[in-house]
C-alpha cells in the first residue's frame, strides 16, 4: 500500500533550512531526507514519495528541505532555489565550492536534528535528485555517523577530487543507490556513470540503475528505489 504523507512547513532553530515534513504514522523510527533539484522546492518529491510502500519498516518521517534562493550564473543570474551555483555547462571543471560546502553544512545540521529527535543515524536515508543528488553524495559521505543509505537520482559526485580525503570512515561502507536516464540532456549519463565508477574505485558499494528516460523519474525507478529502501531500512 502506498504511503500517505501529509507534509507541512516547519522551521527549526537548529537548521538554517525551511523544510516540509510528513509522517506515515505516529512515532516514526526512520527518516528519509529528500533534496530537490535546481529551481524546484521541497514540494517536488512529495507525490513521488507517496508512491512508496514502506509499511514493512514501520512509520517513516519524510523531510523535504527547501534550498536557499540564490542567483544562478548559467541562467543569466536569475534567482531561484539552488543548493549551489551552476557556473557553466561543464559541471566538473567549474564548481561552486563555496556554495557546495555551505549547503553541505546545512544538510549535516538536518541530519543532526533527526538524531536529536530520536532517530539514530543508521535509520536515516539521505536522497536527492540532480543537484539534490550531488548534495546527497557530498554530505552523506562526509557525515560523521553511519547512515542507513544514500540515494542519488540523475546527478553526480561533486568535488570528486576531494572525496577520498574528506569522506568519513563511518560511511565508507554506506549503501549507495544511483539511478540515471540514458537520454538525460541536463546531467549526461556519462557523468553519472563516472561518479559511480569513482565511488566504486574508493570501495563503495553502489547499486546502479539506468532507464530510457531524460532528466526525470520513471515508475520503474520508483519501484527499484522502494525495494532498496526496504532493504537498507529493514529492522534487525
Catalytic residue ranges: 130, 184, 215
Q: What is the DSSP letter of 235?
A: -
Task: Please calculate the CA angle 9-10-15 and round it to the nearest 5 degrees.
Answer: 135
Answer whether 34's CB lies under 8 Å from 62's CB: yes
How many Å separate Cα 135 from the centre of its chain?
6
β-bridge partners, 21:
8, 63
Classify residue 76 as left (phi > 0), alpha (psi -120 to 50) or beta: left
Q: Cα separation of 146 and 111, whole Å?
A: 11
Cell of 193: 556513470
| Burial of residue 82 (number of CB atoms within 10 Å: 0-12, 13-18, 19+) | buried
Amino acid at each position: 500500500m502506498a504511503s500517505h504523507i501529509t507534509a507541512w512547513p516547519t522551521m527549526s532553530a537548529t537548521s538554517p533550512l525551511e523544510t516540509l515534513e510528513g509522517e506515515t504514522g505516529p512515532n516514526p523510527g526512520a527518516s528519509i531526507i529528500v533534496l530537490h533539484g535546481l529551481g524546484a522546492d521541497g514540494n517536488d518529491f512529495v507525490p513521488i514519495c507517496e508512491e512508496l510502500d514502506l509499511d514493512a519498516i514501520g512509520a517513516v518521517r519524510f523531510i523535504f528541505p527547501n534550498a536557499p534562493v540564490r542567483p544562478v550564473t548559467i541562467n543569466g543570474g536569475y534567482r531561484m532555489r539552488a543548493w549551489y551555483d551552476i557556473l557553466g555547462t561543464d559541471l566538473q571543471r567549474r564548481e561552486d565550492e563555496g556554495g557546495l560546502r555551505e549547503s553541505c553544512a546545512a544538510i549535516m545540521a538536518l541530519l543532526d536534528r533527526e538524531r536529536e529527535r530520536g532517530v539514530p543515524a543508521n535509520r536515516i536515508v539521505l536522497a536527492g535528485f540532480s543537484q539534490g543528488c550531488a548534495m546527497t553524495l557530498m554530505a552523506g559521505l562526509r557525515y560523521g555517523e553511519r547512515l542507513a543509505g544514500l540515494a542519488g537520482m540523475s546527478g553526480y559526485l561533486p568535488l570528486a577530487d576531494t572525496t577520498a580525503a574528506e569522506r568519513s570512515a563511518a560511511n565508507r561502507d554506506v549503501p549507495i543507490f544511483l539511478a540515471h536516464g540514458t537520454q538525460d540532456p541536463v546531467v549526461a549519463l556519462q557523468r553519472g556513470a563516472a561518479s559511480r565508477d569513482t565511488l566504486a574505485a574508493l570501495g563503495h558499494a553502489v547499486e546502479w540503475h539506468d532507464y530510457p528516460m531524460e532528466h526525470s523519474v520513471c515508475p520503474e525507478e520508483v519501484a527499484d528505489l522502494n525495494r532498496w529502501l526496504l532493504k537498507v531500512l529493514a529492522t534487525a
